[in-house]
Chains A and B, each alone.
Chain A
Amino acid sequence: MTEAEIKQAVRDALSNVAPEVDLDAIDPAMDLRDQIDIDSVDFLNFVIGLHKEFNIEIPDADVAKLTTLDGCVAYLVARLDGG
């Protein structure tokens, strides 16, 4: 997958838990939970969404890297390249 495709898939996963959010208005470097109204249930569903979309297991210790859009993309790029 290209980075652009990964980025779009991350945006889609976020849209699934927060459908009313304007994704373009989100600062990709800032913590998602500071910008939109998502709670721990939403965030868990978002991470599960990424797991399903990319078909990779996401260890609990890695979840801290997924709190920003940029962080998600960087993590997934590394995981999909490295395996």
Chain B
Amino acid sequence: MPSLGADMQFGTIVDWRVKPGDAVKRGDVVALVETEKGVIEVEIFESGVVESLVVQPGQKVAVGATLAILNGGAPAPVKAPDRVAIVQPTVPIAAEMPAQRDVTAPESQRLRVSPLARKRAEELGFDLSSLTGSGEGGAITVGDVEKASARAKTATVSSIAAPVTAAKGLDLGAMRRVIAAAMARSKREIPHYYLATTIDMRKSLEWLATENGKRPVTKRLLYSALLLRAVALALRTTPELNGFYIDDVFKPAEGIHIGVAISLRQGGLINPAIHDVDKKNLDELMGNMLDLVNRARTGHLRSSELSDGTITVTNLGEQGVESVFGVIYPPQVALVGFGTITERPIAANGMVGVHSMIDATLAADHRVSDGHRGGRFLLAIERLLQEPEKLYGN
């Protein structure tokens, strides 16, 4: 059972996507797992042939427990490495009450509707007779109920409002406990330092307007994609902000996988990562961003997206906030914040004009980097955003 968050302790298998005899390769989605962060598609870390499934749908197991056996050998590490990532600290997240999911396996397999699926359907007000099951013997699984509910366009992933209409229910108490533990841990263990700078966005926005004028609506670029590219390229010059602090040692990450805060439609926030942002061009990045937002809201995120983030960017500009000084997600060592773009007077070339400006902030782990390096990172971002045409990528 992979750990998908700093304080995740249990997960419940909702549905297996493979069966004994299937060949799997690293990165394949093998199971759907319910966690405090909602339902996540778990990817396997190894390649091989599935010999047996140890944990049955509906069983709640601890993080680290063996879920399946590959290749007839020793229990396979069907779990992500021990690195953890937690969700967006500043606002509530989608969460489940793990304790409610104690359904025993044999019952669920004899029924045509799994107890989990029945409960979920009740929560959604769904008529089970309208569903076709994809489980064994045509059994209706929780996955079936959720897909049908997403199709029916009921509220997605999480809901703070009481009668749960979301595909994944939200227990406010459990959610707050997860956030409290994660935030307390971050502030207890990470000596944060904070830096801020104001960046002139005129050239970037002008370039974007010209580019978007030439592009069909389906290929339009948002300025947030430019910000992510700038962060990724700036990280190449200050690698001490990109990686993990584990067991008193900083481990620089090999790739630049940026965690992006995505708001869920009825409250809640999740922080999945876009992989290799430094290697993607703006079109690919936009595609990733839109896809990630859709999947976050319909509950189809993958485990690697929740555990692989090497740094996080929080863009609260759309909420009208000018600057955000965030709380770092352990074991990451930095968090970049962007606020709203506002028109401000600026002195340029000996004259006063009005330019579009944005506040960029950095919260960083003082065990790993110091203000000088953090400052160079923000300066690199600023410089990159003055030459937007170079941010496109290959």
Contact B153–A41 (Cβ < 8 Å):
no
Per the bound structure, the CA–CA distance linking A18 and B289 in Å amounts to 17
Contact B265–A51 (Cβ < 8 Å):
no
Chain A residues in 8 Å Cβ range of B216: 51, 57
Contact B156–A19 (Cβ < 8 Å):
yes
Partner among A41, A57, A58, A61 whose Cβ is within 8 Å of the Cβ of B290: A41
From B42-50, B218-226, B343-351, B365-373, the one touching the partner chain is B218-226
Quick one: given A20-B265, A20-B266, are A48 and B218 in contact (CB under 8 Å)?
A: yes
Per the bound structure, the CA–CA distance linking A47 and B294 in Å amounts to 15
Contact A59–B213 (Cβ < 8 Å):
yes
Q: Does any Cβ of B come within 8 Å of A37's Cβ? A: yes
Chain B residues in 8 Å Cβ range of A26: none
Question: 0/1 per residue, B182-226, Cβ < 8 Å to A?
Answer: 000000000000000000000000000100110111101011100
Number of interface residues of B (CB under 8 A): 24
Contact B155–A60 (Cβ < 8 Å):
no
Q: Which residue of A lies closest to B267 (CB)?
A: A37
Chain B residues in 8 Å Cβ range of A40: 222-224, 318
Contact B222–A19 (Cβ < 8 Å):
no
26 A–B contacts from the bound complex (CB under 8 Å): A15-B153, A18-B265, A19-B153, A19-B154, A19-B155, A19-B156, A20-B165, A20-B265, A37-B263, A39-B263, A39-B318, A40-B222, A40-B318, A41-B222, A41-B289, A41-B290, A41-B293, A44-B220, A44-B290, A45-B290, A48-B217, A51-B217, A57-B216, A57-B217, A60-B215, A61-B213
* A positions within 8 Å CB-CB of B: 15-16, 18-20, 37, 39-42, 44-45, 47-48, 51, 57-61
Kindly list 17 other residue pairs between chains A and B, CB separation below 8 angstroms, not including A18-B265, A60-B212.
A16-B153, A19-B153, A19-B154, A19-B155, A20-B154, A20-B266, A37-B265, A44-B220, A47-B217, A48-B218, A51-B218, A57-B216, A57-B217, A58-B217, A59-B213, A60-B220, A61-B213
* B positions within 8 Å CB-CB of A: 153-156, 165, 209, 212-213, 215-218, 220, 222-224, 263, 265-266, 289-290, 293-294, 318
